[in-house]
Amino acid sequence: MPKRYTSRELVKLAGEFGWILVGVSGDHQNFKHPASRFIVTIVHPQKDVPVGRALDTVKKIRLELK
């Protein structure tokens, strides 16, 4: 079973990998990395992020740097 994440953990993970908060629209926080042209959106606050969305976000945060 994949690890379940909270939105707080995803925001912290994004910060650890160098992603910078560039904008907030309601409960959506947009992060951008200086070496990437993409923006990653995390819904915050959300206690239990659905597994598929969490895995997709983690994959984007870690793999877009390469």
Does residue 2 lie in a domain region? no
- For residue 13, give the nearest of 64, 50, 62, 52 by alpha carbon: 62
Q: Is the dihedral of CA 37, 40, 65, 56 positive or negative?
A: negative
DSSP 47: S
- 49: containing domain: 7-63
Does residue 17 lie in a domain region? yes
CATH number of the domain within which 24 lies: 3.30.920.30
Residue labelled with tokens 């983690």: 58
User: What is the pTM for the complete model shown?
Assistant: 0.77
Do 32 and 22 touch, CB atoms closer than 8 A?
yes
pLDDT tens-digit readout, 1-49: 667 888 898 899 889 888 999 999 999 999 999 988 888 888 888 788 8
The highest-confidence range among 26-30, 34-38, 56-60, 61-65, by mean pLDDT, is 26-30
Do 49 and 5 touch, CB atoms closer than 8 A?
yes
Q: How many domains does the chain have?
A: 1
Residue at 61: amino acid letter: I
